[in-house]
Amino acid sequence: MGVRAYILAAAGTSLTSYQNAAEVFAAACGAREARVSASPRWSQLITIDIIRRDALSPRLVVSSVLVDMPEPARDGVPVLEPEPRTWPELSPDGH
């Protein structure tokens, strides 16, 4: 599961230069792997597959910080419930 990018290589660049930078592409995208291949028909057309996770691997669990976020309100701003105040935090007048 990931993203596919098509690159039209400039004159003077080759598939090898993109394959050597595959780890850089993966790191820049926060992905597990980047696969680089060339079109069999047009040598200047390079395909980069960004692999974020393996859909067939049951042992790999991808977690997200979005799961722990509160539900957004209707205007898109998260609603944060205030924590109840306890005895030491109360002022002498009760507020």
Residue 11 inside a domain? The answer is yes
Domains in the chain: how many in total?
1
DSSP letters, 47-91, are EEEEE---TT-TT-----GGGGSPPB-TTSPBP-PPPPP-GGGS-
Residue 89 inside a domain? The answer is no
Q: Between residues 46 and 89, which one has the greater pLDDT?
A: 46
Residue 38 inside a domain? The answer is yes
Q: Any idea which residue has 């898109």 for tokens?
A: 76
Render pLDDT for 41-80 as a digit per residue (tens, 0 to 9). Answer: 988 899 999 988 766 666 656 666 666 666 666 666 656 6
Q: Between residues 30 and 46, which one has the greater pLDDT?
A: 46
The domain containing residue 50 runs over which residues? 2-54
Render pLDDT for 10-23 as a digit per residue (tens, 0 to 9). Answer: 888 888 999 999 99
Residue 12 inside a domain? The answer is yes
Residue 90 inside a domain? The answer is no
Tell me the two tokens of residue 79: 């609603």
Residue 76 inside a domain? The answer is no
3-state secondary structure of 3: strand
In the predicted structure, residue 95 carries a pLDDT above the cut 60: no
Q: pTM for this structure?
A: 0.54
